[in-house]
Every structure is written in C-alpha cells, then in structure tokens.
Amino acid sequence: MTKFGEFGGQYIPETLMQTIAELTEAYEFYREDEEFQRELKDLYDNYAGRPSRLYEAKQMSQQLGGAKIYLKREDLNHTGSHKINNVLGQVLLAKKMGKRRIIAETGAGQHGVAAATVAALLGLECQVFMGYEDTQRQALNVFRMELLGATVTPVMSGSRTLKDAVNAALKEWVSRIDDTHYVIGSVVGPAPFPRMVRDFQKIIGEEIKEQVLEKEGKLPTAIVACLGGGSNAMGAFYPFLEDKEVRLIGCEAAGHGVETDKHAATLTKGSVGILHGMKSYFCQDGYGQITEVHSISAGLDYPGVGPEHALLFEEKRAEYVAVTDDEAVEAFYYLSRTEGIIPAIESAHAVAHAMKIAPLMQADEVLVINLSGRGDKDVAAIARYKGVQIHE
Amino acid sequence: MNRIVKAFQDNRRKKLIGFLTGGDPDLATTKELILEMAASGMDIIEIGIPFSDPAAEGPIIERANIRGIASRTTVDHLFEMVAELRKELQIPILFMTYANLIFAYGKERFMKNCEASGIDGIIVPDLPLEEMGEFKEACQKHGVIQISMLAPTSTARIEKIVAEAEGFLYCVSSLGVTGMRENLATSIAPLIEKIGSVVPCAIGFGISTPKQAKEMSQLADGVIIGSAIVAIIEKHGKKSPGPMGEFIKEIRKEMDTDA
C-alpha cells in the first residue's frame, strides 16, 4: 500500500508516523467522499480555470515536419503552472482535517506561489521554505508569495536549493504537527504523498485523453513531460499506463551534460537510495552522500525522483531522457517565437525533446507536450544566461 | 552477549549515553574524544556517521555533519577507528546513521563490518517500525542491535514498538529535531510509564544541563546527550577532549547524587 514495487515507503522519524497515519486515513476517506470531490472540481473549474486547453501547435508541427504536435496548456492555469492542481487538493484536505497552517517547499517558486495562493483563498497561514540560491534566481516569486500573505524562509544549509528546502520543511513539520500540514509539491516524500499528489495531478492526463480522442479519434502516440520530482509527468502519464501503445517520455535536466558532474539527471545517472521519506533513485556518491545537482531550471534542480517514476523506469513502461541547459534555452526561444508561447524553463526541457523526436515521427502520429508552466518567471534568468542586463 | 544488553543489566547507576559526530573536527580528535568519554563516566557511546542530509538534526549537529564531511571522514574510516579502539575499550558503541548510508554501503557488508570492528548497534532516525525490516535480517545475522525509537506521538503504536524493541528504547523527549532545549517539556513520560520494565528506556533530544539529565534519568533508565557535547566540540575543536570530559563528569556526578 505504501510502495510502488520496491520503491516508496515511509522512511521518516517516528515522531511523524502518527501524523502520516492520520493523513493517510483522511485521504482515503475524502478521495471517496462525493462532497469533497465536488468542492475540488468546483475549485479546479472555476478558480484554476480547468479544463486546460489542448492546443494544436500548427507552426511547430509544420516546421519540424513529422508528428502532429499538441500542447497541453497547464501554463494557462491560475498561478501559471500545474502546481495549483495538487495544492488545491491538499489544502482543501488540510482544512477538512482541521489544520490552520500549511508549510511548503519550493524550487522555482511555482509550488510556493500556488501554496500561498490557495492558503489565501481558504484562509490558512502559509510558510514557504526556499533555498537561498533559488530566492536569488526567482526573486520575483519571493515577492509574489509575500504579496499573497505567506512567509518565505530562505534556507541557508547544504546546496541552498530545492533539496535543502525539503529538509527544512520536514524539520519544521516534525516540530509542529498539531496545527500544520506539509503540502509537498511533487510526487515525492513518504507515503501517502507520492500517490496522493499523483491523484491530484492525474486530471492532466485524463483531460489529455479526452481531448485527443475528441480531436483525433484515437490515442496519442507519445506524451512528453519534464521531470524533477515528477508531478506534472506523473499526472500526464498515469491515465495512460494501461494504454501500452502510448509512449510516455520524461525529460530530466542534464544541466551542462550528463557526462559532467553538473546535472540533475536522477534516473539517467543516479542509483537507488533512501531520502526524503522514500526509497527511489538519487544522485549520490558511492558512500550514499547526496551529490549536488545542477540545472538552469530551479524546478528540476532536485537530486531525487518520485518512487512511481522509479518503478516505471525499471519496468520500462516509461522512457526517461536528459535534456541540457542549452537545449532547454533553445527550446524556450523556439516556442516563444514559433507559437508566441513563453514556456517555463522546466517545460522547455520537454519542448526540446519533442523537437528532437517529432521529425522522426509520421504525419498521422500525435505528440503531446505537457506544457507544465509559463515562462514569465524565467525571463530575467534567461536574460542573465544570455548576458543581457535588465533593470526592472 | 551484546555489550548494550549487558550494560543495561548492570543497574547500579542510570545510564549516560553520549553522542558525537565521527570526523568532527577530524578522525584523530574523535578517537581521543571517545576515550575521554569512556574515562569520564559515559556508559554507552553513539557515533554519528556524517551525512549530507541529516534531516532529523537541529543546527548544532547539522554543522557537525558538515565538518565531518569536510574532514573527508567515511564509514570505512570509522570502522577502522572502532576496531582500533576495541583493543582497549569495552564500552558499548553504536552508529547513529541515516538509512541511505547503510543502504548505499550494502546492508550485509555494513553489518558484517560492524560485527568485525565491534559496533554493537545502530540507530537510524529515518527508519520507523514500518521500515525496520529493511536491515533486520542483516542485523540479526551479525548480532547488531537495531534500536527502536519512541516519540511523544507514538501513543497508538507503543505496543508494536515495544514488541520489536531490542537493547534499549530511544525515547524522544519532545517534538522537533535534535538540539538543546531550555525548557524540556516531558511529554514522553506517560508513555515510558506504560512500558514499565519490559525494555530499558533512554531519553534523548534536548538534554543539555546536569540538572536536566538528572530529572530525565529519574523518569527512565538512561539519558542521551548529543547537541550539548557537540557544541563543546564545535567551540574547542581539537582541544575539546578536556572540556568535554569536565562536562560529562559534572553530569555524571549530578545523576549519581541522591536527590
């Protein structure tokens, strides 16, 4: 129940076990509760703006030659990414459980912004932990969270990125479990989080299926999604797991290249280990020390991956590839100029891989890119990457 | 017989259990500190293996982990050091380590080396009852005791935890991570009362003064002191064995004095 094959589990301090048991019980109850599901659907549709569009990228399809390309527009959700799907579910659940405060970790800031937003909506206190490096890379999102009434705590330990923000949030939770729920932002952490977050994100894949069937009368040939912890990928893949003919492709961050030590390609280069409450794949050395990872994208800059992805990887049900910083930036520009859509630098990793495989596919094949977020937050970082000085 | 079990059979005094991080500030000092601990009245010693992500630790022990990694101390160095110490020391020694360090090393190889070097047990803070099966077989095969933990939130789980407990039960004093606490709320006391004499109980997390050590020891069979010792090591570095020994003697004296 807590595992995906050998992966997953509950590798957490004893102090948290009771609260995790209560969370599991509440989740099992509310996932079957019609009123909860009705409230959640109302929030999805009327607050987040679901269903998100499935947009046919005609220029891109034509230029690349080959597959017919569709973009699943999670970037059009309220707060600008798929993260809102999970946060609405978890914060609604936390409220039902009588919690008055939520905490969250964030990398790029998208999950933190979503958490701060929903906390404001549902009237809960919110504290967001963010690696110091990321607060610098994504300064605008820090201000955005504060604007929404959240407290942002910069994390100074370790590599000062997403991994360390998770550590800090876990430490805060273990100190204050009575009134606080930890809204984990991806399909990671101890059970029930990986399954619960996947369930709140599977709406993406359910909509893709319905929309592609409606437009094309058949299932897509392939779905491409970027992958840090793996929540947008898991949400897009899950409803297709039994449709074996659909290729599912996750794109990890190769940073400067998987042959260097500056990447975050966990499945491509990592090995099985135990961290953040789960057994999964991690970037680590021979002694089990977690290694520092690198990606231009703060949201993919994580040394682990969700346990269900680890299982799909070992079962070969999904394929996992690595995309470099340079390729992602090129795709960031390409989509902006070809379709007039600025993708999040995370999502640009998926766009980059789609650009590689689309020309190799047939004209009657359908390729869906999960455009997990919008790129407004990345504009300043891309300018820096290109050596452009911007004064806001 | 395992040295931990033997230590708790001797009930002439409450047990004083001390923690330090291996390789903080360097391996030679760690060895000196362990000898000093044993000479100053410690009953059991816990050595933390430095880890990149010590998620159960407060800032003091977290910094010790960073120093341990900076001194390039690995578990292999610690196995060698313990084997060396065993020539003159019979005090029970445990490893305090996160699950990934054992998993990456190979659980069978890890426990085999524990047995060979003279490590009597392991404490793994990210391995609750539900996941203790991960290393159970390897531990049993090599006579390494896996210490179970009990927290103030364990009320509904206490029977299952006690049933699996070996050596002693590590009772977490209060919510939160490791670290010195000025006011030590004893929310663990009612749970320890329930356990009675089925398994020895030692209280840890937050104990930093002789007075706190005495109070806590009266509730249990022993106390565990970590951050307060590590803070002395942080302050005095290579010269820490002396001041640390004085601190331990003070605690020992207070604990052994009749109230």
Extents of the domains making up chain A: 3-44+82-197, 51-80+202-385
- Whole-number pLDDT of residue A108: 81
Q: Which residues of B touch A157 (CB under 8 A)?
A: 62
The mean per-residue pLDDT over the stretch B208-221 comes to 94
- Whole-number pLDDT of residue B196: 85
Q: Which helix (H) or strand (E) holds B4?
A: helix B3-9
The C-alpha of B127 sits at a distance from chain A's nearest C-alpha, in angstroms, of: 5
- Whether the predicted pLDDT of B249 surpasses 80: yes
Task: Using a CB–CB cutoff of 8 Å, tell me whether A286 touches chain B.
Answer: yes
Query: Residue B75 carries which side chain, given as an amino acid letter?
Result: V
In sequence order, the β-bridge partners of residue A8 are A3, A279
- Whole-number pLDDT of residue A392: 55
Active site residue A372: yes
pLDDT tens digits for range A322-363: 999 999 999 999 999 999 999 999 999 999 999 999 999 999
- Whether the predicted pLDDT of A184 surpasses 60: yes
Flag whether the pTM goes above 0.90: yes
- Whole-number pLDDT of residue B117: 98
Looking at per-residue pLDDT, the higher value among B188 and B128 belongs to B128
Cβ-based neighbour number of residue A314 at 10 Å? 15
- Whole-number pLDDT of residue A391: 64
Query: pLDDT confidence of B178, banded at 50, 70, 90?
Result: confident
Please indicate whether, in this complex, the C-beta atoms of B126 and A12 are within 8 angstroms of each other: yes
The residue of B107, B124, B148, B153 whose CB has the most chain A CBs within 10 angstroms, and thus the best one to mutate to test that interface, is B153
- Whole-number pLDDT of residue B132: 96
Task: Using a CB–CB cutoff of 8 Å, tell me whether A158 touches chain B.
Answer: yes
Residues 233-272 of A with CB under 8 A from B: 271-272
Q: Which residues of B touch A163 (CB under 8 A)?
A: 53
What are the start-end ranges of the H helices in A155-192?
162-175
Query: pLDDT confidence of A214, banded at 50, 70, 90?
Result: very high
Task: Using a CB–CB cutoff of 8 Å, tell me whether A153 touches chain B.
Answer: no
Q: Which helix (H) or strand (E) holds B244?
A: helix B241-256
Please indicate whether, in this complex, the C-beta atoms of A157 and B62 are within 8 angstroms of each other: yes
Query: pLDDT confidence of A137, banded at 50, 70, 90?
Result: confident
The C-alpha of A371 sits at a distance from chain B's nearest C-alpha, in angstroms, of: 32
pLDDT tens digits for range A247-274: 999 999 999 999 999 999 999 999 999 9
Q: Which helix (H) or strand (E) holds B20?
A: strand B15-21
- Whole-number pLDDT of residue B187: 82
Q: Which residues of A touch B99 (CB under 8 A)?
A: 11, 274
- Whole-number pLDDT of residue B174: 86
Q: What is the CATH number of the domain that holds B119?
A: 3.20.20.70
Residues 288-307 of A with CB under 8 A from B: 288-291
Query: pLDDT confidence of A390, banded at 50, 70, 90?
Result: confident
Tell me which residue has tokens 């689309």: A358
Looking at per-residue pLDDT, the higher value among B116 and A109 belongs to B116
Catalytic residue, candidates A61, A68, A72, A83: A83
Structural domain count, chain B? 1
Q: Which residues of A touch B77 (CB under 8 A)?
A: none
Instruction: Quote ipTM for the complex.
Output: 0.96
- Whether the predicted pLDDT of A158 surpasses 90: no
| Sheet of strand A151-155, all strands in order from the earlier edge strand to the far edge | A151-155, A125-131, A101-106, A180-182
Cβ-Cβ pairs closer than 8 A, A with B, add up to 113
Q: Give φ, ψ of A340 to 5 degrees.
A: 70, 30
What is the β-pairing status of strands A7-11 and A101-106?
unpaired
Q: What top-level class would CATH report for the domain A51-80+202-385? A: alpha beta
Radius of gyration of chain B (CA): 17
Q: Who among A158, A176, A279 is closest to B52 (CB)? A: A158
What is the β-pairing status of strands A222-226 and B169-172?
unpaired
What is the span of the domain harbouring residue B193?
A: 3-256
Exposed/middle/buried for residue B248 (C-beta within 10 Å: 0-12, 13-18, 19+): buried
Q: Which residues of A touch B129 (CB under 8 A)?
A: 14, 17
Q: Cα(B57)–Cα(A10) distance, rounded to whole angstroms?
A: 18
The residue of A2, A160, A274, A292 whose CB has the most chain B CBs within 10 angstroms, and thus the best one to mutate to test that interface, is A274
Contacts 24+ apart (CB under 8 A), A206-211: A206/A239, A207/A50, A207/A51, A207/A52, A207/A54, A207/A72, A208/A54, A208/A72, A208/A236, A208/A239, A208/A240, A208/A368, A208/A370, A209/A239, A209/A240, A211/A51, A211/A54, A211/A70
Percent of chain A with pLDDT over 70: 99
What CATH code would you report for A3-44+82-197? 3.40.50.1100
- Whether the predicted pLDDT of A219 surpasses 90: yes
The mean per-residue pLDDT over the stretch A2-28 comes to 96
In sequence order, the β-bridge partners of residue B224 are B17
Q: Cα(A262)–Cα(A77) distance, rounded to whole angstroms?
A: 32
Query: pLDDT confidence of A375, banded at 50, 70, 90?
Result: very high
- Whether the predicted pLDDT of B259 surpasses 80: no
Task: Using a CB–CB cutoff of 8 Å, tell me whether B155 touches chain A.
Answer: yes
* In contact, A334 and A347? CB cutoff 8 Å: no
- Whether the predicted pLDDT of B136 surpasses 80: yes
Active site residue A242: no
- Whether the predicted pLDDT of A22 surpasses 60: yes
Instruction: Find, in chain A, the residue whose alpha carbon is nearest to that of B54.
Output: A167
A51-80+202-385: same fold as A3-44+82-197? Answer: yes
pLDDT tens digits for range A290-331: 999 999 998 899 999 999 999 999 999 999 999 999 999 999
Active site residue A83: yes
The pLDDT mean for chain B works out to 95
What is the β-pairing status of strands A222-226 and A366-371?
parallel
- What are the residues whose beta carbons fall under 8 Å from the beta carbon of B87, sequence distance 6 or more? none
What are the start-end ranges of the H helices in B178-240?
189-195, 210-217, 227-236
The mean per-residue pLDDT over the stretch A122-139 comes to 93
The C-alpha of B182 sits at a distance from chain A's nearest C-alpha, in angstroms, of: 15
Q: Which residues of A touch B131 (CB under 8 A)?
A: 9-11
Please indicate whether, in this complex, the C-beta atoms of A14 and B56 are within 8 angstroms of each other: no
Please indicate whether, in this complex, the C-beta atoms of B103 and A17 are within 8 angstroms of each other: no
- Whether the predicted pLDDT of B70 surpasses 90: yes
Helices (H) and strands (E) in chain A, counts: 16, 14
Q: Which residues of B touch A13 (CB under 8 A)?
A: 55-56, 125-126, 128, 149, 151, 172
Please indicate whether, in this complex, the C-beta atoms of A288 and B103 are within 8 angstroms of each other: yes
